[in-house]
């Protein structure tokens, strides 16, 4: 009997150790070394709808800036935790459909969607020219929620008119997919998150990260799929708390993005 109890105790201890190892691994989660391009944007606070963005390239184990930073806009209501590579399990409010907030965390960059037949000169990245049958589903009740769908434009389903991707809208000339809530999508937790052209320097979005057209073109020309580009968006306080554990550029490297302390 004592021998059986001893064996059972060893099993319990082994399970506890294993779970502890999993917890430690989760706590230590960071970007993999195969990620060689990183887009970083820092907002002053959770409720900010403006901030700055900068591109970084990995040189050995260190992130180096790739050019200067530029201004961007977020959701009209600020930021909230999203579902991506990092940030999904953070405590606190998370992204919901039509909440007017941009998802915070770290996300993979997906395909570029455009009305044009080609990307800007010098760009080399996977893209799709939007057709009359292209749609992006933002209806949480639809089985293909937060997915790109192509239908027969000559015989579209009843839902298509509200879900079709827009044509001729200057702000959507290039849509760079930010893969929030994509792997897999969860109904109601946010859809159609992109980098795209801003509608004005003081007009935030419904949840995307937007910028001047010239800056978006720079970003598109810089992206390379083989470098596995990711996007890190965080409020300043969260960035300061998480950069090391998540493998992001050090605060001194993103100094141009961080809010400056006010004078006494």
90, 138: one domain? yes
What is the distance between the alpha carbons of residues 165 and 175, in angstroms, rounded to a whole number?
10
25, 135: one domain? no
Domain range enclosing 74 = 33-254
Regions of the chain with pLDDT less than 50: 1-28, 261-264
pLDDT at 45: 97
How far apart, in Å, are the Cα atoms of 134 and each of 160, 167, 185, 255? Answer: 9, 10, 19, 40
3, 54: one domain? no
Per DSSP, the three-state class of 211 is strand
37, 23: one domain? no
113, 160: one domain? yes
Under DSSP, the state recorded for 21 is H
Instruction: Give the alpha-carbon dihedral of 74, 164, 159, 203, to 10 degrees.
Output: 30
Split into its structural domains, the chain has a count of: 2
Domain presence at residue 262: no
Domain presence at residue 264: no
Counting Cβ atoms within 10 Å, is residue 207 exposed (0-12), middle (13-18) or buried (19+)?
buried
What's the pTM? 0.88
Domain presence at residue 259: no
72, 194: one domain? yes
11, 87: one domain? no
**Structural contact between residues 131 and 56, judged by C-beta atoms closer than 8 angstroms:** no
What is the distance between the alpha carbons of residues 31 and 5, in angstroms, rounded to a whole number?
43
Domain presence at residue 195: yes
């Amino acid at each position: 009997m004592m021998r059986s109890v001893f064996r059972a105790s060893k099993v319990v201890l082994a399970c506890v150790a294993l779970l502890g190892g999993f917890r430690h691994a989760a706590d230590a989660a960071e970007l993999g070394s195969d990620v060689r391009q990183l887009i970083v944007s820092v907002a002053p606070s959770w409720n900010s709808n403006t901030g700055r963005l900068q591109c970084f390239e990995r040189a050995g184990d260190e992130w180096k800036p790739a050019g200067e930073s530029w201004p961007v806009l977020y959701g009209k209501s600020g930021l909230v935790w999203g579902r991506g590579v990092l940030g999904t399990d953070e405590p606190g409010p998370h992204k919901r459909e039509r909440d007017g907030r941009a998802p915070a965390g770290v996300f993979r960059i997906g395909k570029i969607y455009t009305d044009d037949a080609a990307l800007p000169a010098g760009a080399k990245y996977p893209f799709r020219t939007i057709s009359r049958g292209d749609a992006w589903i933002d209806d949480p009740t639809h089985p293909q929620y937060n997915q790109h769908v192509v239908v027969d434009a000559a015989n579209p389903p009843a839902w298509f008119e509200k879900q079709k991707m827009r044509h001729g809208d200057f702000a959507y000339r290039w849509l760079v997919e930010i893969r929030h809530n994509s792997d897999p999508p969860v109904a109601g937790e946010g859809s159609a998150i992109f980098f795209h052209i801003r509608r004005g320097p003081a007009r935030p979005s419904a949840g995307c990260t937007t910028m001047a057209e010239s800056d978006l073109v720079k970003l598109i020309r810089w992206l390379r799929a083989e470098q596995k580009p990711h996007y890190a968006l965080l409020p300043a306080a969260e960035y300061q708390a998480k950069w090391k554990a998540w493998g992001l550029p050090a605060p001194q490297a993103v100094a141009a993005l961080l809010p400056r302390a006010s004078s006494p």
